[in-house]
Chains A and B, each alone.
Chain A
């Protein structure tokens, strides 16, 4: 089994075998991060550009650590504004990057489809580190790795995603990945933040959180991005927390051994109560650790071979 694709743009077309390959490889990479010298020479001479159009300390750092632990040269380009405001088109940016001859470009962008445009224009491997409200494949892979570690398998589990489903790329990638791996996925959130036709992705919709959590093996809370919503989409943060905050009593609705996940950064007290976030059922820190391993695995599987 090998990863034959040039790019990692999303999980919408990932096969079960491909997901397993990435997870198995990532599992092997976890050990490296426990060593005294947390570095292997595998990707010496490989250049990874981390192109972040959107601020993200967490994902950015995770990719940088992953590249460095594999001895790749990581170059970070952060820009809070889009190329378009500088009068430079994405195509121009692509050509500039190509001239730096990187091997892999990791891109985070506020616009859905931006990585796809780069992938079409460039011969280099593109890894989508989150594009608008579209996909965040590496996050979903690390989530699946965490679930597999804690539950032994993904197949047959009931996973509940709670929050702003419409604007969540984490939700989309997880919906693709988890349903493909045989999980039963329920999405839950305010009715106006459930995107139209989402049932077509093979998930169940439930706007009542108590009902959604029944028999859940995994509760995945999404970050409520009040800043990304234009205008009055939801009445207030307070009202949101009333209905959708994962509190200790709320968590009782799920299975006794249910695990709690969150992609971070956490809005404490809004989508998740501090006692739950820091509680023994929370695997939030495992997610962070697994993030480095998954990204190392992807860099490793994508690098080289095509020169």
Chain B
């Protein structure tokens, strides 16, 4: 079985490629990238499917390193099947899923369960992130080595901060010795308790309890200091504040092994949007003011922020059709992340090459998983994008089981046309949904 993608613009920063070339996939691997590969004659070499992709963009498969697939435990919000279907529709060939399921992914049997479910779904690749502490309680470390052997690619108590500096120190040291990255959800709970949105003028006007930016900054500073002191590394999840961007920028300048990610809502929205009291906008970290938003964009621009991840956090209407204070935290993003990120390209903030780094190359590198490249001989995980396709977000058409999308009704430009995993076309924009 061969697949020949003809005439597309191939953007692969891992090989410094950005030109119109043909790409041949054979036996699930990237076989050749070259100009004008011969189109097999009809009837003779019928084992080759040919797709004309003139005007389209071909990139290494996108990897979303921060999602919540909700299985096991909250299957009414999302399942591994529905979540990976949503990933494919959003152009992602792989996702890393956080550990705050029920039960928590804090032991190898849960990791194993997730991987078996993912294999059965056979859609996007799934990379489990295991918990740092047992039951995310911040007291006892999980068995990092056993979890790694079961298939966990990283560690995070995401949803919760790693409560104490002491535990974080030991986690970073131990994980580093096992070559596992630790993903830090930065939140000082003593400053965020009861909070519902970003603290500032808008929260004052709306009378909603505020979450100050320093709740994130203080923890980011703590974790960077620990990484520096111990000579280990840390990945800062969902950066949303100007000060955290600056902390990361400064840490990188000083040679500390810190990487950082942000999510599309942090560079797209400001807290002014909260005036609707729409609970789909309730998320942690909260959507910040315009200065923070601009700083996040600045961090993307100069590479301080390595990764764009969705922080896809499905919740059902039971958790969202309620008063703002009672609403669950999180929004879904798998099916809108690409288009919202392409807007950064459109606005000249980043190049398409930088976008591919942030959504494919860097996440693969940070997690230490395959992918992020179209190098010959590697698995053919490929995303084909129409960067000019305009569409209207319709949350009711999503593959995700949940509808907590604040971008419903928004006009966006750019869409995944085809998502190829291991050489197999798992998603085609024009095909009927799975």
Q: Which residues of A contact B (CB under 8 A)?
A: 12, 82-84, 89-91, 109-114, 116-117, 131-135, 169, 172, 195-198, 200-201, 230-231
Q: Which residues of the other chain, B, contact A169 by a CB distance below 8 angstroms?
A: 207
- Interface contact B317-A91, CB-CB below 8 Å: yes
State whether A84 and B326 are in contact (beta carbons under 8 Å apart), knowing that A135-B207, A172-B207, A200-B204 are contacts in the complex. yes
Write out, one digit per residue, whether chain B residues 388-400 have a CB within 8 A of any chain A CB (1) or not (0).
0000000000000
The 12 listed contacts between A and B (C-beta, < 8 Å) are A91-B317, A111-B326, A112-B196, A113-B323, A116-B277, A132-B207, A133-B208, A134-B208, A196-B200, A196-B203, A197-B200, A201-B205
A202 to B205, alpha carbons, bound, how many Å?
12
Q: Which residues of the other chain, A, contact B199 by a CB distance below 8 angstroms?
A: 196
A197 to B198, alpha carbons, bound, how many Å?
12
A111 to B193, alpha carbons, bound, how many Å?
16
- Interface contact B205-A89, CB-CB below 8 Å: no
State whether A112 and B207 are in contact (beta carbons under 8 Å apart), knowing that A196-B200, A230-B194 are contacts in the complex. yes
A134 to B197, alpha carbons, bound, how many Å?
13
Shortest A120–chain B CB gap in Å is: 8
B303 within 8 A of A: no
- Interface contact A91-B321, CB-CB below 8 Å: yes
State whether A133 and B207 are in contact (beta carbons under 8 Å apart), knowing that A196-B200, A197-B200, A230-B194 are contacts in the complex. yes
Write out, one digit per residue, whether chain B residues 185-222 have a CB within 8 A of any chain A CB (1) or not (0).
00000000110100111011111111010000000000
- Interface contact A12-B208, CB-CB below 8 Å: no
Known: A91-B317, A134-B207, A197-B204. 10 other contacts (CB 8 A): A84-B323, A89-B318, A91-B321, A109-B323, A110-B325, A112-B277, A113-B323, A113-B324, A114-B323, A172-B207
B51 within 8 A of A: no
A269 to B140, alpha carbons, bound, how many Å?
50
Shortest B76–chain A CB gap in Å is: 14
B49 within 8 A of A: no
B322 within 8 A of A: yes
Size bracket of the B interface? 20 to 34
Q: Which residues of the other chain, A, contact B204 by a CB distance below 8 angstroms?
A: 195-198, 200-201
Shortest A212–chain B CB gap in Å is: 19
A200 to B208, alpha carbons, bound, how many Å?
16
- Interface contact A84-B322, CB-CB below 8 Å: yes
A231 to B193, alpha carbons, bound, how many Å?
10
A209 to B96, alpha carbons, bound, how many Å?
55
Shortest A82–chain B CB gap in Å is: 7
- Interface contact B321-A89, CB-CB below 8 Å: yes
- Closest chain B residue, CB of each to CB of A166: B204
B153-174 residues at the A interface, CB under 8 angstroms: none
A195 to B321, alpha carbons, bound, how many Å?
28
A169 to B206, alpha carbons, bound, how many Å?
10
Shortest B223–chain A CB gap in Å is: 25
- Interface contact B325-A111, CB-CB below 8 Å: yes
Question: In the complex, which of the residues A83, A109, A113, A114 contacts B206, with contact meaning CB atoms closer than 8 Å?
Answer: A113
- Closest chain B residue, CB of each to CB of A83: B322
Q: Which residues of the other chain, A, contact B206 by a CB distance below 8 angstroms?
A: 112-113, 134
- Interface contact B325-A132, CB-CB below 8 Å: yes
Q: Which residues of the other chain, B, contact A89 by a CB distance below 8 angstroms?
A: 317-318, 321-322
State whether A197 and B201 are in contact (beta carbons under 8 Å apart), knowing that A134-B206, A172-B207 are contacts in the complex. yes
- Interface contact A200-B201, CB-CB below 8 Å: yes
- Interface contact B207-A131, CB-CB below 8 Å: yes
Question: In the complex, which of the residues B207, B210, B318 contacts A196, with contact meaning CB atoms closer than 8 Å?
Answer: B210
Question: In the complex, which of the residues B203, B212, B323 contacts A111, with contact meaning CB atoms closer than 8 Å?
Answer: B323
Q: Which residues of the other chain, B, contact A197 by a CB distance below 8 angstroms?
A: 200-201, 204
B49-97 residues at the A interface, CB under 8 angstroms: none
Q: Which residues of the other chain, A, contact B194 by a CB distance below 8 angstroms?
A: 230
Instruction: Give the most central of A109, A110, A133, A230: most B CB within 10 Å.
Output: A133
